[in-house]
Amino acid sequence: MSTLRTGQQSQEPLDLIRFQLDEFVLVKLRGAREMKGRLQGYDSHCNMVLSEAQEFIFNETDSEPIVKKTEMVFVRGDSVILVSPTTE
C-alpha cells in the first residue's frame, strides 16, 4: 500500500476515511447509486457501516432519483467508487 508523506507525518490512504468517522459522507457506488449517511465504521476492503442513511437510485427515464431511507446499512466495499465528506 502506498504511503503519503505530508510534512512530518506519513498517512495511509484509508486514513482519509478514518478522519470522517462519525461524520456525514457521500459514497458513490456502482450501478448508478449513491449513499449518504453518518460513517460508523469501515475496514481495509472499504466495507462501511452508515447510520441515518439515504440511498439514491438514478435511472435514465426519471429526472429525480428514487430515495430510500434506513437507520443503519452495510455497504460492501467492492461496490464503492468514491467516498467524500458532505453535509447532512
- For residue 46, what is its C-alpha cell? 472499504
Instruction: Sketch the domain layout of the chain as residue ranges.
Output: 13-85
Full pLDDT tens readout for the chain, 88 residues: 455 555 556 578 888 899 999 999 999 999 999 999 999 999 999 999 999 999 999 998 888 999 999 999 999 999 999 999 998 7
Architecture of domain 13-85: Roll (2.30)
Dist. CA 6–CA 17, nearest whole Å: 16
pLDDT confidence of residue 5: 55
Tell me what pLDDT residue 13 has: 83
Q: Are 62 and 46 in contact (CB under 8 A)?
A: no
Q: How many residues does the chain have?
A: 88
Tell me, what's the pLDDT at 61? 87
What is the model's pLDDT at position 14?
87
C-alpha grid cell for residue 33? 447509486
d(CA 38, CA 21): 8
